[in-house]
Amino acid sequence: QVQLVESGGGLVQAGGSLRLSCAASGRSFTSYAMGWFRQAPGKEREFVAAISRSGGSTYYADSVKGRFTISKDNARNTMYLQMNSLKPEDTATYYCAARNGIPLAVVAEYDYWGQGTQVTVSS
């Protein structure tokens, strides 16, 4: 098993930046592909970005491509999401997740989840 804890959320103006972190503990970090998802009030949880176990392959939702960057530091057991050019529509609770196998964009395919961190982008 792996335990995940997100941090780095907050309130930022449109056009600003934030970096989210996801610290993992438990089973070896390199055993898992990982992803970031988000959920706005009244909406379903949606895929944001994913990264392979080695960190060598990354995938993004079209809505964040070119603005967000996912990365993984296996030595520190930490995953990051650098968010630039933030928009009000990026406002949501952001969750990190882990799964055995390849990274996927499907919520139900992830086995482990953090508690979430709130990101609010003001216009």
Q: Per-residue pLDDT tens for 31-85?
A: 899 999 999 999 999 999 999 999 999 999 999 999 999 999 989 999 999 999 9
Element (H, E) at 80: strand 78-83
For residues 2-28, give the mean pLDDT.
95
DSSP 3-state of 68: strand
Confidence of residue 30 (pLDDT cuts 50, 70, 90): confident
Spatial separation of the C-alpha atoms in residues 110 and 31, rounded to whole Å: 13
Strands 112-113 and 78-83: unpaired
pLDDT of res. 26: 82
DSSP 3-state of 108: helix
Confidence of residue 9 (pLDDT cuts 50, 70, 90): very high
Give 22's strand partners. 6, 79
What's the sign of the alpha-carbon dihedral 39, 77, 10, 70?
A: negative
